[in-house]
Structure 1
Amino acid sequence: MRRAIDTLFGRLVVIVIGMLVLSHVAWFAIIRFERDNVQTRFAVEEAVFLVEAVRQHIANTPDQPLPPRVHTVPLGSADVPKPPGEDIPPPLQRFVEDLKDRLPDGTEVRLNEPGGPPSVWVHGAKDAGWIVVPVQPLRPPRSRDRMLVWLALIFSTAVLAALFAAWQLQSPLRSLAQAVARFGRGQPTPPVPERGPRELRQLTHGFNQMVREVSQTENDRAVMLAGVAHDLKTPLARLRLRAEMMDDEKMRDGVVRDVDSMAHIVDQFLVFAHDRADGSEPVSVDEQCERITRAYRAVTPGAQPIRLDLEAGPAFVLPAATLDRLLSNLLDNAHAYGAPPVVIETRRDAKGWVLSVSDHGKGIAPDDLIKASRPFVRLDPARGGSGHSGLGLAIVERLARRAGGECEIGNRAGGGLQVAMVFPFDIASRTVEERREERAL
């Protein structure tokens, strides 16, 4: 099961959002702490200024009235508050300590009782009484809702910008990964746009160059193989004609069999060298399997019994030429090396449409399974024989990948070889009209 966290974009999203959450929480805590300190310092400076102003007023113009909320109280008045205890809140305690540090030594500072207007009582060594001045509340009503709204707005904007940047970084990598998957399946791979960071552009450029060189090598090999195979068809035809004119029947039959084997190898070369997309008409796989089975029984003397187990239905379609080549190679392979009965099966799986051909022979040794689909590899002694070039399973794998599927070669649990091909639903369920439009484009 695929998880979003397994993708590069998912991990970038988790990292970006996690870092943004940590940074915003840290900044929120720092802002709150610094705002408390700024409020305390401002309240201290304001109280010191007012106390000094009252002292100057008393010294210079004692007859003039003091401003509202600023007054003096005699030392023995009953209204004088008690000295602050140790149970006062930390902000008020810090305010009192900072205020004493700003005033002359020996100055006594008290706070008014809770419930009244916030004010501070100050008595210095030279003061005749208590000077009472108002102070700003150290914990005023804060617009926390507004602050949280702004924080959420900034966080959302940062997340969107970060996600866009992560998508811009991940998009070229996704295109490159898709191109690598197509190239690995043997499908035509167009050049990938070189975009993104410098390292990613260099990687994409190297991949495009590798695809071009591999494609050129494949084209050169296909042209050479097709040319050799094509040039051999004419002398083989002359050789067969001359063999037919031999008087010795036994020798004639032997030469004809050898010529037919060589012609079959040449045909395999041509099919393997063919590297163009199949433009034939898409047909229902189940119906075509039935037709190919009837034709194979009719033209192949001594063919092994073939059992059909077709459950895919009409939605499973493939190009007719590709399907004919797949089944003919697999049936020839089962007829040459396997044991009856040969089973052709189609079904719908979780990964896509499945087409499999299996026999009940000895199968392939586990150590040789990885080499079974390599071109020109013949597995001896179990899979020898005349008239075979070692291209049958290689052709099947190439045709399946060219059609957008995957080919898996393995041994059945009950004995025998099984070749299973899986085609994705979006590829093997296209209608005839969709495939025609694709070929036209």
Structure 2
Amino acid sequence: MRRAIDTLFGRLVVIVIGMLVLSHVAWFAIIRFERDNVQTRFAVEEAVFLVEAVRQHIANTPDQPLPPRVRLVAPDSPDVPRQPDENMPPPLQRFVEDLKDRLPDGTDVRLSEPGGPPSVWVHGAKDTGWVVVPVQPLRPPRSRDRMLVWLALIFSTAVLAALCGAWQLQYPLRSLAQAVARFGRGQPTPPVPERGPRELRQLTHGFNQMVREVSQTENDRAVMLAGVAHDLKTPLARLRLRAEMMDDAKMRDGVVRDVDSMAHIVDQFLVFAHDRPDGSEPVPVDEQCERIARAYRAVAPGAQPVRLNLEAGPAFALPAATLDRLLSNLLDNAHAYGAPPVVIETRRDAKGWVLSVSDHGKGIAPDDLIKASRPFVRLDPARGGSGHSGLGLAIVERLARRAGGECEIGNRAGGGLEVAMTFPFDIATRPVAERRAGPQHEERAL
């Protein structure tokens, strides 16, 4: 099961959001702490200014009335608040300590009792009474902290910008990963646009150059095989014609068999060298398997009947020419090297449509399984024979990948070889024009 966290974009999103959350929480805590300190210092400076102003007013103009909320209280008045206790909130304790530091030594500082207007009581050594001045609340009640609103707005904007940046950063890498997957499956791989950071552009340039060189090598080999195979067809046809004119029946039959074997090898060369997409119409795989199994029994009457286990249904469809070539190569391989019964099976699993052909022979040695689909490899003596070029399974793998599927070769638990091909669910919905267009159409689509 694919998880979003496993992708580069998902991890970039988690890292970016995590860093933004951490930074915003840290800044929020710092700003709140500094705001409280600034508020306390401002309240201390304001209280010191008012106390000094009252003292100068008393000294210079004692007959003039004091401003509102500023008053003088006798030292023995019952209204004098009690000494601050240790359970006072930390902001108030810090306020009292800072105020004492700003006033002369020996000054007594007290706060008004809760429930009334906030005020500070100050009594110095030279004061005749308590000087009571108003003080602003250190933490005024608020219905909503504006800072949280601004932080949420800034955080949302930063997340959106970071997500756009992460998407732009991972998009070229995603295109390159898709191209690598196509190249690994043997499908046509158009050049990947070289964009993104410098290192990614260099990587993309190297990949495109590698694809061009590999494709050129494959094209050269295909042209060589096709040319040799095509040039051999004419002399083989003349050789067969001359063999048919021989008087000795035994020698004639032997030469004809050899010519047919050589012609079969030439046909395999041509099929392997053919690198164009199959543009034939898709047909239901289950129905085509039944027709091919009946035709195979008619062509080889002595062969054991082919067993069918078709459970995919009509939704599973493949191009007709590709399907015919796949089944004919696999049936020939099973009857030549395996043992009856040969079973053709179709089904649907979690990864896609599955088409498999298996026999009940000895199978292939585990060490040779990796070489089974390599071109021109014959696993003699267990799987040898005349008239075979070692291209049967290589052609099957190439055709399956060209159709968008994957081919897996392995031994059955009960004995025998099994070739299983898995195709994506949308294989039958691809337009015929898209398959015929081949690499050029796919390049324009990307």
> Normalising to structure 2: TM-score of the pair?
0.95
Aligned partners of 2:142 and 2:155: how far apart in 1?
21
Change in Cα spacing, 1:212 to 1:264, as seen in structure 2 (3 Å) is: same
Q: Contact between 1:179 and 1:189, CA under 8 Å: does it hold in 2?
A: yes
Q: Deviations over 1:74-129 (max 9, x none)?
A: 22222222221222111111101101111112211111111111111112222222
Q: Contact between 1:317 and 1:430, CA under 8 Å: does it hold in 2?
A: no
User: Which one is further off, 35-44 or 243-252?
Assistant: 243-252
Change in Cα spacing, 1:440 to 1:305, as seen in structure 2 (3 Å) is: farther
* SS of the residue 1:166 aligns to: helix
Structure 1 runs of 4+ with >4 Å offset: 429-441
Aligned partners of 1:315 and 1:78: how far apart in 2?
97
Q: Contact between 1:222 and 1:274, CA under 8 Å: does it hold in 2?
A: yes
Aligned partners of 1:142 and 1:206: how far apart in 2?
61
Aligned partners of 1:380 and 1:432: how far apart in 2?
40
Change in Cα spacing, 1:439 to 1:9, as seen in structure 2 (3 Å) is: closer
* SS of the residue 1:132 aligns to: strand
User: Which one is further off, 91-100 or 104-113?
Assistant: 104-113
1:431 Cα deviation from its structure 2 partner: 6.9
1:430 Cα deviation from its structure 2 partner: 4.5
1:324 Cα deviation from its structure 2 partner: 0.8
Q: Contact between 1:70 and 1:133, CA under 8 Å: does it hold in 2?
A: yes
Change in Cα spacing, 1:383 to 1:439, as seen in structure 2 (3 Å) is: farther
Change in Cα spacing, 1:376 to 1:200, as seen in structure 2 (3 Å) is: same
* SS of the residue 1:120 aligns to: strand
- 5+ residue gaps in structure 2? 437-441
Q: Deviations over 1:143-178 (max 9, x none)?
A: 544333332222222222222211111211211111
1:69 Cα deviation from its structure 2 partner: 0.6
Change in Cα spacing, 1:434 to 1:219, as seen in structure 2 (3 Å) is: closer
* SS of the residue 1:95 aligns to: helix
Q: Deviations over 1:223-262 (max 9, x none)?
A: 0111111111111111112222222222221111111111
Change in Cα spacing, 1:343 to 1:44, as seen in structure 2 (3 Å) is: same
RMSD: 2.1
* SS of the residue 1:354 aligns to: strand
1:45 Cα deviation from its structure 2 partner: 0.4
Q: Contact between 2:279 and 2:433, CA under 8 Å: does it hold in 1?
A: no
1:298 Cα deviation from its structure 2 partner: 2.2
Change in Cα spacing, 1:380 to 1:30, as seen in structure 2 (3 Å) is: same
Q: Which residue of 2 aligns with 1:401?
A: 401
* SS of the residue 1:144 aligns to: coil
Aligned partners of 1:276 and 1:101: how far apart in 2?
91
Change in Cα spacing, 1:396 to 1:114, as seen in structure 2 (3 Å) is: same
Change in Cα spacing, 1:38 to 1:440, as seen in structure 2 (3 Å) is: closer
User: Which one is further off, 294-303 or 174-183?
Assistant: 294-303
1:435 Cα deviation from its structure 2 partner: 6.4
Aligned partners of 2:168 and 2:433: how far apart in 1?
35
Q: Contact between 1:72 and 1:131, CA under 8 Å: does it hold in 2?
A: yes
Q: Which residue of 1 aligns with 2:119?
A: 119
Aligned partners of 1:56 and 1:439: how far apart in 2?
88
Aligned partners of 1:434 and 1:240: how far apart in 2?
41
1:132 Cα deviation from its structure 2 partner: 0.9
Aligned partners of 2:271 and 2:433: how far apart in 1?
27
Change in Cα spacing, 1:439 to 1:280, as seen in structure 2 (3 Å) is: farther
Q: Contact between 2:277 and 2:435, CA under 8 Å: does it hold in 1?
A: no
Change in Cα spacing, 1:425 to 1:25, as seen in structure 2 (3 Å) is: same
Aligned partners of 1:427 and 1:166: how far apart in 2?
32
Q: Contact between 2:12 and 2:166, CA under 8 Å: does it hold in 1?
A: yes
Q: Contact between 1:316 and 1:429, CA under 8 Å: does it hold in 2?
A: no
* SS of the residue 1:313 aligns to: coil
Q: Which residue of 1 aligns with 2:389?
A: 389
Aligned partners of 2:428 and 2:377: how far apart in 1?
30
Q: Deviations over 1:256-301 (max 9, x none)?
A: 1111111111110000000000011211111211222222222235
Q: Contact between 1:279 and 1:439, CA under 8 Å: does it hold in 2?
A: no
* SS of the residue 2:314 aligns to: coil
Change in Cα spacing, 1:120 to 1:145, as seen in structure 2 (3 Å) is: closer
1:403 Cα deviation from its structure 2 partner: 0.2
1:392 Cα deviation from its structure 2 partner: 0.2
Q: Which residue of 2 aligns with 1:299?
A: 299
Aligned partners of 2:445 and 2:294: how far apart in 1?
33
1:434 Cα deviation from its structure 2 partner: 8.0
1:438 Cα deviation from its structure 2 partner: 13
Change in Cα spacing, 1:263 to 1:439, as seen in structure 2 (3 Å) is: farther
Q: Contact between 1:353 and 1:428, CA under 8 Å: does it hold in 2?
A: no
Q: Contact between 2:278 and 2:435, CA under 8 Å: does it hold in 1?
A: no
Q: Contact between 1:338 and 1:360, CA under 8 Å: does it hold in 2?
A: yes
Change in Cα spacing, 1:77 to 1:182, as seen in structure 2 (3 Å) is: same
Change in Cα spacing, 1:32 to 1:330, as seen in structure 2 (3 Å) is: same
1:209 Cα deviation from its structure 2 partner: 1.1
- 5+ residue gaps in structure 1? none
Aligned partners of 2:419 and 2:304: how far apart in 1?
17
Q: Contact between 1:311 and 1:348, CA under 8 Å: does it hold in 2?
A: yes
1:404 Cα deviation from its structure 2 partner: 0.4
Q: Contact between 2:344 and 2:358, CA under 8 Å: does it hold in 1?
A: yes
Identical positions, percent: 93
1:9 Cα deviation from its structure 2 partner: 1.5
Q: Contact between 2:286 and 2:314, CA under 8 Å: does it hold in 1?
A: yes
* SS of the residue 2:207 aligns to: helix
Give the number of equivalent residue pairs: 441
Aligned partners of 1:24 and 1:30: how far apart in 2?
10
User: Which one is further off, 41-50 or 297-306?
Assistant: 297-306
Q: Which residue of 2 aligns with 1:380?
A: 380
Aligned partners of 1:55 and 1:72: how far apart in 2?
10
> Normalising to structure 1: TM-score of the pair?
0.96
Q: Contact between 1:315 and 1:429, CA under 8 Å: does it hold in 2?
A: no
1:439 Cα deviation from its structure 2 partner: 13
